[in-house]
Amino acid sequence: MPLPNDGDTPASVRYNARPYLHGPETAAMAAAMEAGQYGHGPQADLFESELAAYLGVPDVVAVSSATTGIHLALMACGVGPGDEVIVPSQTFAATIQPIVALGAFPRFIDHHPDTLCIEPEAVREAITPATRVVLPVLYGGRPVGLGSIAPELEHRGIQVVEDAAQAFGSQRVASRATTVYSFGPIKQLTALVGGAIVPRTTDQADALRRMRALGITSSQTQRIQTTTYTVDGPGLRGVLPDVNAAVGRVQLARFDTVAARRVALWKAYAHALHGTPDVSLVDVGVGDGTVPFNCVVRVPDRDRVHRTMQVRGIGVGVHYPPNHLQPAFARFTRPLPVTERVAGEILSLPFHPAMTPDDARWTATALLEALTANTA
Ligand SMILES: *Cc1c(COP(=O)(O)O)cnc(C)c1O
């Protein structure tokens, strides 16, 4: 939703984030709808193979959302009651709920304050005999490398599931991880809602395809030719509908323009804010192959800066209030000094591909004005 405008705020700056459509999405969606197949169908099959080609991986499993994708990936890793999943607290609640839904324990850890991403050493310290999975979050699109502790994780049978909901298009560094992308409304690539998993092995791909279809072993095509079907294990209703896949395909074919716009926008912010003593930019790794999802700064007196900018109609936000302090996750809480301090400093600036570098420069000036207003 746009904020009310006080007059001089550029229209696109009123949104913190927004879907970016190229035009042909509507026709593609209507065509898929008229084709009459509303579940996983030919569009989803094509989307999977086009995604695999784009990412340079052997296979991709399309799913209904990243949240469901994380849930399925954890199931594929055998996560169940009593297991521990090492995860940053600084993430969207969607990373945590699937862990809890499986009866497992989120073992919250601190991030690095410059990147808001977890570091190998903090992961190592959090490992217990109950650890089953490490779940890094690629905050802002930044790849998270756990290579330095990979042998130890492997030795202990601990798997890696990446929450790459904010990282579609960024260079992949974790070849031994199961990677989960989101195609939600405001992500780098949107299918309206949706997601995809890069499986680690062909066996895992088979398991994910079964589990996204309620644990049923036969495909829909096979099922209509027989009088029965087999449910051979747990499952969710998690396929990506063809109408969504059709939108995703249009977006994927034009992804490079969006990636370039996002990089240019992030750089315009970075240039405009460079050398400003009270502002530090969260380093999402632009220059190292990141397609940025957001532009987040750390500022003093954040709540007041947020209010001052909102009053001007500028779409600022906070992503995210930490999970270990949420009532739903209180039984898993532990002290996380870095996360708790930084949570009071972060501010997400308006960031979406319809914005121009001029819009970023205008917003950077407004941020500096808001900071000065604070000290006045
Ligand atoms: C958007 C997001 C999700 C959830 O993605 P959905 O596709 O909406 O389920 C999970 N984790 C992070 C970090 C996100 O930004």
Dist CA 139 CA 339 (whole Å): 13
Contact assessment for residue 314 and residue 14, using Cβ atoms and an 8 Å cutoff: yes
Residue 375 Cα to ligand 1 middle (Å): 36
In this structure, which residue's CA is closest to atom 2 in ligand 1? 165
Dist CA 32 CA 43 (whole Å): 8
Ligand 1 pocket: which of 71, 92, 138, 188 to mutate (most atoms within 8 A of CB): 92
> Is 267 tagged catalytic?
no
In this structure, which residue's CA is closest to atom 14 in ligand 1? 165
Cα–Cα distances in angstroms (integers) from residue 24 to residues 29, 36, 50, 125, 249, in the given order:
9, 19, 17, 49, 10
As a whole number of Å, the CA-based R_g of the chain is 21
pLDDT tens track for 226-259: 899 999 999 999 999 999 999 999 999 999 999 9
Decide: helix, strand or coil at residue 332: helix
Q: Of the given ranges (78-87, 88-97, 165-174, 203-212), which has the lowest mean pLDDT?
A: 165-174
pLDDT band at 330 (very low <50, low <70, confident <90, very high): very high
Token digits of residue 173: 């560094």
pLDDT tens track for 177-193: 999 999 999 999 999 99
- Best CA proximity match to 286, nearest among 259, 320, 316: 259
The secondary structure element, H or E, covering residue 48 is helix 42-55
Task: Give me the catalytic one of 187, 212, 261, 306.
Answer: 187
- Quote the pTM value: 0.96
What residues line ligand 1, using a CB cutoff of 6 Å?
65-67, 91-92, 94-95, 137, 163, 165-166, 182, 184, 195
Dist CA 161 CA 56 (whole Å): 19
Residue 69 Cα to ligand 1 middle (Å): 10
Residue 182 Cα to ligand 1 middle (Å): 6
In this structure, which residue's CA is closest to atom 1 in ligand 1? 165
Residue 197 Cα to ligand 1 middle (Å): 13
- Best CA proximity match to 146, nearest among 166, 171, 121: 121
Dist CA 120 CA 136 (whole Å): 10
pLDDT tens track for 252-289: 999 999 999 999 999 999 999 999 999 999 999 999 89
Atom of ligand 1 nearest to the CA of 195: 7
pLDDT band at 4 (very low <50, low <70, confident <90, very high): low
- Going across the sheet that includes 346-349, the strands are 280-281, 295-298, 346-349
Strands 295-298 and 280-281: antiparallel
Decide: helix, strand or coil at residue 195: strand
